[in-house]
Copies of this chain bind each other. A is one copy, B any other.
Amino acid sequence: MNKIPYKTYLTEEEMPKAWYNLRADMKTKPAPLLNPGTHQPMKAEELSPVFCDELIKQELDNDTAYFPIPKEVYEFYKMYRPSPLVRAYCLEKALGTPAKIYYKFEGNNTSGSHKLNSASAQAYYAKKQGLKGVTTETGAGQWGTALSMACSYFDLDCKVYMVKVSYEQKPFRREVMRTYGATVTPSPSETTQIGKKILEEHPGTTGSLGCAISEAVEVAVSTPGYRYVLGSVLNQVLLHQSIIGLETEAALKKIGEKPDIIIGCAGGGSNLGGLIAPFMRDKILGKADYRIVAVEPASCPSFTRGKFAYDFADTGKVCPLAKMYTLGSNFIPAPNHAGGLRYHGMSTVLSQLYHDGYMEAVAVPQTEVFEAAEKFARIEGILPAPESSHAIKVAIDEALKCKETGEEKTIVFGLTGTGYFDLVAYEKFHDKKMDDYIPTDEDLAKSLADLPKID
């Protein structure tokens, strides 16, 4: 048998032609979105002032297993996909582990992450609907960059509300978005009612994703020809991101491998939900068994310390309610929290699956994540995004366990992106100015006190 190559690429013909909708195979479906006023399930017509019509269909459809990828999106994908499944030979050797480590690398595009997979789909549907533009929020900046690229390609206007602390710490992210013609506004801002209100109530705030979402939604619903798009959490996003898992599945098959452990970082769930989609299907259907592990920051621990309950999706409480693992919509990670994975909630799909025992979750402290990141960069030659490094950390831990037990497990993790725009965080790490603030039980009790009462 030939040795497995460092990088396994599918050919363009082998690239999946349809997205996979995991909800179709879930035994317990995710709870529906509720109208924040009436607490009744949201209907398509209620969502249409906010979202594109085609995306609403995808959002609400719990039954259709496969959605064909539109030709235009498929062509866009071919500019940067299929992405490689990499055998981490160097890392295995450096760790001295009998485990086989693979990572699906989504960072080889200018947005630097997997976010482009959904950005291109959402921009396409917006254009197809005849819209002028879209609004969105971005935290670490990966989503905003990806959306700017997609909007430039499909000739749509793009308005990005960027969490203020990121806007200031990542001027280069802003500049990339500008290269692609997007307008970038630090949030909270004076350009929206909700932004003004938040600035009045919290004058020194550095912003949050929940707040930026509220601003972007307000602008979308109040500007003719605009809709709001979101880079994570939503069902439609997980649907588009299933391309990651489908390619991973096909590549593993091509080289004759079966995973024992699948590991992904989890913020809102876009990468994790995409990566695990076909594997989780087989697990639900009893066709395969493996451990699926979500890794989240200890500073924003929705899965491991949050509550499974209906909550507001945004600080301004204008969005539908979602049943998910949440830390409360007022939760904001400590200012020293680097990178993304800072959302207070979690995908309803992943929340339900976690609740039903199909996956594990682990929270890891920030400095250990950066130690793993630096180790990985030096050994595997890729400087990883802080988000992705959460998965690296746990993949290394699992490989070291194999070293102890002598087990030759196959570990697959998602390397969602590169850290080229996260060097301020790396600098803090090098200068030992990074710490590991973890919310206290009191902090969480406080932010969870504001959950809506749903009968």
CB proximity to B under 8 Å, residues A267-325: none
Q: Inside 8 A of A421's CB, which chain B residues have their CB?
A: 420
CA distance A355 to B374 in the complex (A): 47
Residue ID in chain B nearest A430 by CB atoms: B178
Residue ID in chain B nearest A382 by CB atoms: B110
> How does the 8 Å CB contact mask read for A13-48 relative to B, with 1 for contact and 0 for none?
000000000000000000000000000000000000
Contact of A176 with B383 in the complex, beta carbons under 8 Å: yes
> How does the 8 Å CB contact mask read for A374-394 relative to B, with 1 for contact and 0 for none?
100111111100000000000
Name which of A4-12, A339-347, A447-455 contacts chain B: A4-12
Contact of B179 with A383 in the complex, beta carbons under 8 Å: yes
> How does the 8 Å CB contact mask read for A413-455 relative to B, with 1 for contact and 0 for none?
0000010110110110010000000000000000000000000
Contact of B110 with A6 in the complex, beta carbons under 8 Å: no
Does chain B have a CB within 8 A of A197? no
Contact of A79 with B381 in the complex, beta carbons under 8 Å: yes
Does chain B have a CB within 8 A of A202? no
Q: Inside 8 A of A79's CB, which chain B residues have their CB?
A: 6, 90, 380-381
Contacting residue for A175 out of B6, B149, B178, B426, CB 8 A? B426
Q: Inside 8 A of A418's CB, which chain B residues have their CB?
A: 110
Does chain B have a CB within 8 A of A204? no
Question: Nearest Cβ in chain B — how far from A392, in angstroms?
Answer: 14
Does chain B have a CB within 8 A of A66? no
Does chain B have a CB within 8 A of A172? yes
Q: Inside 8 A of A379's CB, which chain B residues have their CB?
A: 153
Question: Nearest Cβ in chain B — how far from A435, in angstroms?
Answer: 19
Does chain B have a CB within 8 A of A109? yes
Residue ID in chain B nearest A76 by CB atoms: B381
Contact of B181 with A80 in the complex, beta carbons under 8 Å: no
Q: Which of A6, A7, A12, A175 has the most chain B CB atoms inside 10 A of its CB?
A: A175
Contact of B153 with A378 in the complex, beta carbons under 8 Å: yes
> How does the 8 Å CB contact mask read for A108-132 relative to B, with 1 for contact and 0 for none?
1110100000000000000000000
Contact of A374 with B420 in the complex, beta carbons under 8 Å: no
Does chain B have a CB within 8 A of A203? no
Contact of B80 with A381 in the complex, beta carbons under 8 Å: yes
Q: How many copies does the complex hold?
A: 2
Question: Nearest Cβ in chain B — how far from A347, in angstroms?
Answer: 27
Contacting residue for A383 out of B110, B378, B383, B427, CB 8 A? B110
Does chain B have a CB within 8 A of A171? yes
CA distance A152 to B379 in the complex (A): 8
Contact of A420 with B423 in the complex, beta carbons under 8 Å: no
Does chain B have a CB within 8 A of A78? yes
Contact of B427 with A175 in the complex, beta carbons under 8 Å: yes
Does chain B have a CB within 8 A of A180? yes
CA distance A31 to B179 in the complex (A): 44
CB proximity to B under 8 Å, residues A343-375: 374
CA distance A152 to B426 in the complex (A): 17
- Known contacts A6-B78, A79-B90, A420-B420; A381 and B176 CB within 8 A of each other: no
> How does the 8 Å CB contact mask read for A398-426 relative to B, with 1 for contact and 0 for none?
00000000000000000000101101101
Contacting residue for A172 out of B112, B153, B172, B181, CB 8 A? B172
Q: Inside 8 A of A80's CB, which chain B residues have their CB?
A: 381
Question: Nearest Cβ in chain B — how far from A115, in angstroms?
Answer: 13
Q: Inside 8 A of A180's CB, which chain B residues have their CB?
A: 377-378
Contact of B423 with A172 in the complex, beta carbons under 8 Å: yes
Contacting residue for A5 out of B12, B420, B423, CB 8 A? B12
Q: Inside 8 A of A171's CB, which chain B residues have their CB?
A: 423, 427
Contact of B5 with A381 in the complex, beta carbons under 8 Å: no
Contacting residue for A381 out of B6, B90, B109, CB 8 A? B109
Q: Inside 8 A of A178's CB, which chain B residues have their CB?
A: 426-427, 430
Q: Beyond the given A108-B108, A175-B427, could you list 12 further A-B residue pairs with CB under 8 A, ordered by the A residue number?
A: A7-B78, A79-B380, A79-B381, A80-B381, A109-B382, A153-B381, A171-B423, A172-B172, A176-B420, A179-B377, A179-B378, A180-B378
Query: Can you list 30 contacts pairing A with B, beta carbon distance less than 8 Å?
Result: A6-B12, A6-B79, A7-B12, A9-B9, A79-B90, A79-B380, A79-B381, A109-B381, A109-B382, A110-B377, A110-B383, A112-B420, A152-B378, A153-B379, A153-B381, A172-B172, A172-B420, A175-B423, A175-B426, A176-B383, A176-B423, A178-B426, A179-B383, A179-B426, A179-B430, A180-B377, A180-B378, A181-B378, A420-B420, A420-B421
